[in-house]
Amino acid sequence: VTWLQKPIFVTGATGFIGGRICERLVLAGATQVRALVHTVQHAPRIARLPITLCTGDLLNRESLRPAVGDARVVIHCALGQASGILRCTKNLLEVAADARADRFIHMSTAAVYGEKPSPSCETEHAPLRRTGDSYCDNKARAERAVSRFVRRGLPAVILRPSIVYGPYSFWSTRLLKALREGHVALIDGGKGACNTTYVDNLVDAVFLAIENQHAVGESFFITDGEQITWGDFVRAHIAMMNPPPTVPSISSEEVITHYRQQLGLWASSFSEARRVLLSVEFRKMLLQIPACERVLSAIWSRLQAFDQGTQQRLKAKIRGTSSTIGLLTLNENGKYIPDLTTWATESHTVFFRIDKARQVLGYTPRIPFAQGITLVEQWLRFANYL
Amino acid sequence: MLGKIRLGILGCGAITQNAHLPTALRDPCVQVTALVDADLNRARLLQRFVGPSCEVTERFSNVVGNVDAVIIAMPNHLHASTTIDALKAGVHVLCEKPLALTAAEARACCEVATRKGLVLAVGMNRRFDDRRVLLRRALEDELLGSLTGYDWQCGSPWEWETASGFYFSRAQAGGGVLMDVGVHLLDSLLDWFGPVNRVDYQHDDWGGGIEANALLKLHHFGRFGEISGSVKLSRTYNLTNRLMVSGSAARAVLPEADRSLITVHRLLGGHEASMTLRLTESYSPDESFSRQMSDFVESIQSHREATVDGWQAVGVLDLVERCYAQARRLSEPWAELDKARHEVGA
């Protein structure tokens, strides 16, 4: 009996990566796959599969116990937001440890080194440092939580992909939309490191991390192993379009100059004030004031009356969401300027090395970029995006 | 029947909250006297909109004698058995689509309704859209010339705020997108173009799940002659969301976004021209669910069949069964990549 015949539990299963993991498990012959479903409306893709859908909430540890059950393998791909990333991961680690799972796969991200990693971060040996970005720092905290559970005996493995693309990926669907709207610029001529990981290559790495005893307690960068730039990635999508749009270039210097001018005293103060007001620490302090506690509790109860989807949308609106490709602003000369997250992501030139994954996991990326992008195009056409 | 029809609503999920209950509360011929749901909290939640005199309970058997008619809006697998229970208790039924999970079950419902002389209506609210009448009249007036085919695409990422989540259980829903929105489309197509004598069906159920995407090719032989067409359904992708019916003289486009109109496109002086058709007469005062309710009420009051009766639902379910019986797997080359080699490192 291999691990495929044992109970397997997947979180984030209604998402892009988790959904593909479920599909691949079915293709591989897994017969006892259980997928955690937080928002039922997102389940149509995995509802096609012969797997069990379990409703539950990673923020509610007790709701996870019946869902995880006797799972031998736990694959954690749920995304989460801000501090929820850590809470969700801790809850699942607790439940998996209690269930004495044989393997816990934690889907982390290369962004634990920040949206604009330094050249020293091209291998996994680089220490994790605070980046100032909520998503990156919380993913790093989640990794540390996983490591603590490894020391307590949970056989866990951390995988760090970067730009995971493939059918169903928003990297492609949002990019096409942005290209159509003229909201894409190639930063520094598109020479930034894209660090693509075709989703099936990542799933290969997940399977290898489950099978390989030497993987326990380790973290691995997972990419396609090709030096694909953002220019390559964007141009591959342009080639799918008819007529192909023209995309301007913009230098990092222009972007930085623009935001230096924009973020004057008031703007930067507002931005920082917003961060403080939305921080957990500030909320905790507010709760110590009885009147504030009453008001916040009333707001919280009101929020609970909405369904999960509406709750998430409201929370995202309040917090603001980090933008990705395509969300640009206009400078005084009418030129589109990428937002700072996009600039950071697309301007760094660090290609993460996968030597460790090759050596320890035996990982070989079997879908090269050219083949991956062809499959993406087939899917985009089927799904009416092209 | 004297006075208002005493109406019970069985199942207090999203469709009841968003459509059936508001519609019933607006109808002057109806008094909502009972709300039934296995989850009493759901029923109590909706009771607030009706008033304390409305009975709230977990079982239909508790409200027999307090209702003349019921709307059944429970999970699909309970439709047929509850319909039969209600009819046997002497209560008229408007059952949400699909009437049953199989044509045989639907037939059994019809037989009980006939035997008891009661109304059995099926919730195909789209049949009460203006465009149903508009297209039918356009076809009858040969506005499109002789028909050459149709193409209907209906799909978007799933957003239905389901209260019970039964939609993703094959045992409870009976199927996926075909059984859900698909039955609406098949019902309309059978109504417009007549019986289907050939069908080709593909979907993306991986075996044991429920389909999110489906492709149908249908060949009809009806009052407007022979016509072939295709239907594409999706719960995951945005499709064009329109029906296009082509003829030798013109083509009609029916957008999903506005079911009160059709647009007819044809060549005029060698150039493409289009005209939008809407009903100008007062066909009915309100939207499709209100019209459906009015039709149900009138059927009860005048002892006639409902516009969409159980036997028509049998025809639709018969076609659904034919589709599922011959289903072929939709080609997904991006997903089937690993079929031959799923074991990494093998």
At residue A335, the 3 state secondary structure works out as coil
Mind telling me how many Å the CA of B42 is from chain A's nearest CA?
13
Mind telling me how many Å the CA of A179 is from chain B's nearest CA?
18
- pLDDT given at position B345: 42
C-alpha to C-alpha distance for B113 and B264, rounded to whole angstroms? 41
C-alpha to C-alpha distance for A39 and A2, rounded to whole angstroms? 31
Alpha helices in chain B (DSSP H): 14-15, 21-26, 40-50, 79-88, 103-116, 130-140, 170-173, 183-193, 288-302, 310-325
A26 chain-B contacts, CB cut-off 8 A: 206
Positive or negative torsion for Cα A120, A122, A126, A127: positive
- pLDDT given at position A328: 44
C-alpha to C-alpha distance for A74 and A59, rounded to whole angstroms? 17
Beta strand extents in chain B (DSSP E only): 5-10, 30-36, 55-57, 69-72, 92-96, 120-123, 147-155, 196-203, 213-222, 225-234, 242-247, 251-255, 261-268, 271-278, 328-329
Q: Chains A and B: how many Cβ contacts under 8 Å? A: 91
A240 chain-B contacts, CB cut-off 8 A: none
- pLDDT given at position A332: 59
Residue (of A192, A78, A97, A115) closest to A151 by Cα position: A97
Please state which of the ranges A163-167, A327-331, B130-134 shows the lowest mean pLDDT.
A327-331
Average pLDDT over residues A242-248: 93
A3 chain-B contacts, CB cut-off 8 A: none
Mind telling me how many Å the CA of B85 is from chain A's nearest CA?
31
- pLDDT given at position B80: 98
| Cross-chain CB nearest to A44 (options B158, B206, B207) | B158
- pLDDT given at position A278: 74
Ordered per-residue pLDDT tens for chain B, 346 residues = 568 999 999 999 989 999 999 999 999 999 999 999 999 999 999 999 999 999 999 999 999 999 999 999 999 999 999 999 999 999 999 999 999 999 999 999 999 999 999 999 999 999 999 999 899 999 999 999 999 999 999 999 987 766 666 888 888 999 999 999 999 999 999 999 999 999 999 999 999 899 999 999 999 999 999 999 999 999 999 999 999 999 999 999 999 998 889 999 999 999 999 999 998 865 554 588 999 999 999 999 999 999 999 999 999 999 999 999 999 999 999 998 654 444 444 3
- pLDDT given at position A284: 66
Backbone angles phi, psi at A355, to 5 degrees: -60, -40
Strand-pair partners of A222: A161
Backbone angles phi, psi at A321, to 5 degrees: -115, 145
Q: What is the pTM of this model?
A: 0.85
- pLDDT given at position A323: 35
Residue (of A84, A76, A148, A70) closest to A106 by Cα position: A76
Average pLDDT over residues A259-273: 67
A49 interfaces chain B, CB cutoff of 8 Å: yes
Interchain contact, B161 vs A41, CB within 8 Å: yes
Pairing state between β A196-198 and A163-165 = parallel
- pLDDT given at position B33: 97
Residue (of A251, A230, A161, A227) closest to A198 by Cα position: A161
C-alpha to C-alpha distance for B170 and A230, rounded to whole angstroms? 43
Inter-CA distances, A90 with A84, A100, A131, Å = 10, 15, 21
B208 chain-A contacts, CB cut-off 8 A: 49-50
- pLDDT given at position B291: 92
Residue A86 has pLDDT above 50, yes or no: yes
The gap between the terminal CA atoms of chain B, to the nearest Å, is 74
Inter-CA distances, B50 with B58, B138, B301, Å = 17, 42, 23
A115 interfaces chain B, CB cutoff of 8 Å: no
Q: What percent of chain B has pLDDT over 70?
A: 93
Tokens describing residue B302: 């005048």
Average pLDDT over residues A33-54: 93
Task: List all residues 6 or more positions away from B230 whose beta carbon is below 8 Å from its beta carbon.
Answer: B149, B150, B151, B152, B215, B216, B217, B218
Mind telling me how many Å the CA of A357 is from chain B's nearest CA?
13
How many CA atoms does the CB half-sphere of A312 hold within 13 Å? 11
Mind telling me how many Å the CA of A40 is from chain B's nearest CA?
6
Interchain contact, A44 vs B238, CB within 8 Å: no
Interchain contact, B206 vs A28, CB within 8 Å: no
C-alpha to C-alpha distance for A238 and B187, rounded to whole angstroms? 41
A368 interfaces chain B, CB cutoff of 8 Å: no
Backbone angles phi, psi at A222, to 5 degrees: -130, 110
- pLDDT given at position A151: 97
Q: What is the interface pTM, i.e. ipTM, of the complex?
A: 0.86
Most confident of A15-29, A282-296, B282-296: A15-29
Tokens describing residue B332: 């997904």
- Alpha-carbon B210 to chain mean position: 18
Reported as a pLDDT band with limits 50, 70 and 90, residue A336 is confident
At residue B107, the 3 state secondary structure works out as helix
Residue A313 has pLDDT above 70, yes or no: no
Q: Which residue has the tokens 């005084």?
A: A332
The gap between the terminal CA atoms of chain A, to the nearest Å, is 44
- DSSP H or E segment with residue B331: none
Tens digits of residue pLDDT in B22-31: 999 999 999 9
Residue A248 has pLDDT above 60, yes or no: yes
- pLDDT given at position A308: 60
Task: List all residues 6 or more positions away from A167 whose beta carbon is below 8 Å from its beta carbon.
Answer: A20, A199, A375, A376, A378, A379, A380, A383, B334, B335
Please state which of the ranges A121-135, A285-299, B173-187 shows the lowest mean pLDDT.
A285-299
Average pLDDT over residues A132-159: 96
Tokens describing residue B165: 């989540």
B343 chain-A contacts, CB cut-off 8 A: 28
Residue A337 has pLDDT above 90, yes or no: no
Q: Taking CA atoms, what residue in A is nearest to B241?
A: A384
- DSSP H or E segment with residue A88: helix A84-98
Pairing state between β A186-187 and B242-247 = unpaired
Pick from A21, A23, A48 the residue to mutate for testing the B interface (most B CBs within 10 Å): A48
Inter-CA distances, B146 with A322, B170, B266, B273, Å = 55, 40, 13, 19
Tokens describing residue A221: 């960068």
Average pLDDT, chain A: 88
Residue A322 has pLDDT above 50, yes or no: no
B160 chain-A contacts, CB cut-off 8 A: 41
Average pLDDT over residues A97-121: 95
Mind telling me how many Å the CA of B333 is from chain A's nearest CA?
7
